Amino acid sequence: MLFSKHLPTIAAGIGIALVVAYLYVFLIKTFPRPMIYLMLISSLAIIAIIALVGIITNNIGLTISFGIMFLVYALVLFCLRSKINTGIALVTVATHFIS
């Protein structure tokens, strides 16, 4: 068989994916507000890190594009604080429904 030697790796990947998905649903059900804000701040940090990589490598296009993206994304998050809180309430209700 084509997949016979890769079957343990495939099974382990599926098992790990299921454990991570369960852990994510558990954490977002237990701590919805910190999880949402952690995800938002993490995505903002990734954009900032990519902009810093552009500065370090002297790649002006990367720095400018991700710098502008960082500023716009931060401004949108700041302006939509009340909508984020509404979204957190919706996520709380949805996770209770899922579990």
pLDDT in tens, 11-34: 999 999 999 999 988 888 889 899
| CB neighbourhood size of 21 (10 A) | 10
Distance set, CA 48 to CA 17, 20, 26, 85 (Å): 28, 26, 29, 24
- Torsion angle, alpha carbons of 72, 74, 78, 80, to 10: 60
In one-letter notation, the amino acid at residue 64 is: I
Of 36, 29, 19, the closest CA to residue 99 belongs to 29
pLDDT at 2: 65
d(C-alpha 67, C-alpha 61), whole Å = 10
Q: Which H helix or E strand runs over 80?
A: none
pLDDT in tens, 46-80: 999 999 999 999 999 999 999 999 999 999 999 99
